[in-house]
Structure 1
Amino acid sequence: VRAVRVFRILRFVRELRLMVASVICSLPSLMWACIFLFFVLFLFSMFIISDVSNHIQSQGTVDSALNDFYGSLGGSMVSLFMAITGGHDWRDILKPLQEINYYFYTLFFLFYVSFTVFGVMNVLTAIFVESASRISEIDRDLVIQEQISATSSSVDALKKVFRDADVDNTNLLNKKQFEAHLKDSDVRAYLRFLELDVFEARGLFQMLDTQDKGVVDIDDFVVGMMRLKGAARGYDLAWLMQDMTKNSVRLDAFMKFVEDQFKELVKDEVGRLEHREVQMKSLQDYIRHFEITSKTSQKRLSHLGVQATHGSRSSISTVKKALKRLGTSRLNRDSGSAASQSGWASFTSSVPTDW
């Protein structure tokens, strides 16, 4: 239970949690480092054991120090490991081997210590550092906290920079104050430090000033500047694509509405034209029938006397006046249509002039 409480405390101590997370993250690399070091010790021990065995067979006697350090393969590996980790002074480990061959084993041991300490151990240390730096793979909460802390500090710093230009303490930034503040070299340098561009700041000011009043809210301006920081993120691109999709759908709906309305207008206009064409056709048929009837009547009246002709002319004049009144009323109903006027003109021209 106490151990569990200790781990709970780690959540609130950032530095301690960072160290524990780094150790846990480097455990896989530590395992492979131990395996690699084991093979190095094994190869050097095999060579030493082979030479020590030949020396013992040729001499017939075994030195106690040689037997202690190199009496077996495991003992030899432990001795070599102590020589590079400080478990035992490597000069004492070297002395039994110098009795076999002084110069050879002196150079051999110097090579072994240099290779393992300056080569293998430094490489393993670099691997541990690289593994410990990838904490995000094991402790995402810590990375999130660091990102939130960095973002919060940047937002606070930006607010402080632009609130210094707000001399009225209204939390509003007008264009004159904004331009004057951007001319300050310290402000420009600080914006560059935050990876923000002065020209983008001016463009954002104009974008947020939707009512052309020359005034923007400082909080809104800082949030916009943080969104402009760095390259476009996935969220910004997704939001832009979603907004474009919505606008495209609205535009398609509007175009369909306009098309339907246009079709209705065209349909109504075509219906009116067809109706007028039918009226004009019936009027033309009526005119033809009247012409035929008038010609027949004129032939019959030609066989009668002049008086009858004069009386017929009076009757026909009466008919002509009535037809003109009929045509005038029809033209008024058609609101002065050009087609109706042309039809009535053809009708009046068909009436004989001698009536």
Structure 2
Amino acid sequence: MSESDEYRANSYFGSLIETMLSLFMSISDGVSWENVISPLLHISPVWGILYTFYVSFIYFAVLNVLTAVFCQTAIESAQNDHATAIHSIMAHKESHLEKIRILFSELGDERSDVITYAMLERKMMAPETQRYFESLGLEIWDVWTFFKLLDHDQDGNVHLEQFLEGCLRLRGQASSVDVARLIHDQTWLISTQGSFQSFVETELRSLRQELRTSKAASPGPSRSPNRA
């Protein structure tokens, strides 16, 4: 063994602590592989193969698995931390409700405590109203659609409770319940429209048949005799 390899052997493998430190530095870029494996190859190629297997196993198996476990645990902890989520919602709920109440008083009629489509359309162009919606995280592109989403009972008026509930629901992301309800409504609508179309087609076919029968049964136009 050359003097340099003998120095490396004594430096990296002189004791158990130094050997463990050398192995740790090998997987954490603390030392080059060439410096550590060189004295091992001079002793026996078997030690070089074992050292290469150790580094490969730690890199591609242990470290990747540990990283995946920590990441998955952090993701599940963030998703399932209901207490933190509820605390955050309750901490900001009153502020959002207060902003919505202020917006309702700006848009609606305080005497009737309702807002109509005409009021909403008239106030939507005001910069103050747009800033209110932006502060709530709402982007209103279609006033009519927005009003219809708030007016659940379809009486043409949006009460304070409907406005608060609608803005809070539209502000957040769609939940599984909302998606399921949308799928149910769409299925019901498709089924109803299909039945209605079948009924209309049957009635039109029957009406067409009756018209043909009446036309065939009716006598032709009579001609008046020619006058001399």
TM-score when scaled to structure 1?
0.34
Higher normalized helix content (fraction of residues): 1
Higher CA-based Rg: 1
TM-score when scaled to structure 2?
0.48
